[in-house]
Amino acid sequence: MDFTLKTYYRFLSTFKANGYNFQSYKDFISLPKQKTIILRHDVDKLPQNSLITSKIEHNLGISGTYYFRTHKCSWNKEIIKEIASLGHEIGYHYENLSTCNGYM
């Protein structure tokens, strides 16, 4: 399978061209549209890659939701702010209790 940014752009463009709407969770809950796609991104590592995909989505007029972990490999305050400034939602990608042995 081709997971390049060019293919991601074509993938999103194809859905838009076929009448699909892209909504954030918040927007979908408050005012759901027909034929809706909700983009949810877990940022586990390489937040700079999420910044690139957020710019692609922004250029297409699409908003998504980006969930960041508090681990060093994911949490980058400047990138989080920049993604939010592009109109995307930011969420917390929580750690489950089995990962942290019950301690937070």
Residue 101: pLDDT over 80: no
Mean pLDDT, rounded, for 80-88? 97
Under CATH, which number does the domain 41-104 receive? 3.40.50.1100
% helix / strand / coil in the chain, to the nearest 5?
40, 15, 45
Residue 19, amino acid: G
Domain ranges of the chain: 41-104
The pLDDT value recorded for residue 104 is 47
Mean pLDDT, rounded, for 14-27? 94
pTM here is 0.85
Q: What is the mean pLDDT of the chain?
A: 89
31-57 pLDDT, tens digit per residue, is: 999 999 999 999 988 999 999 999 999
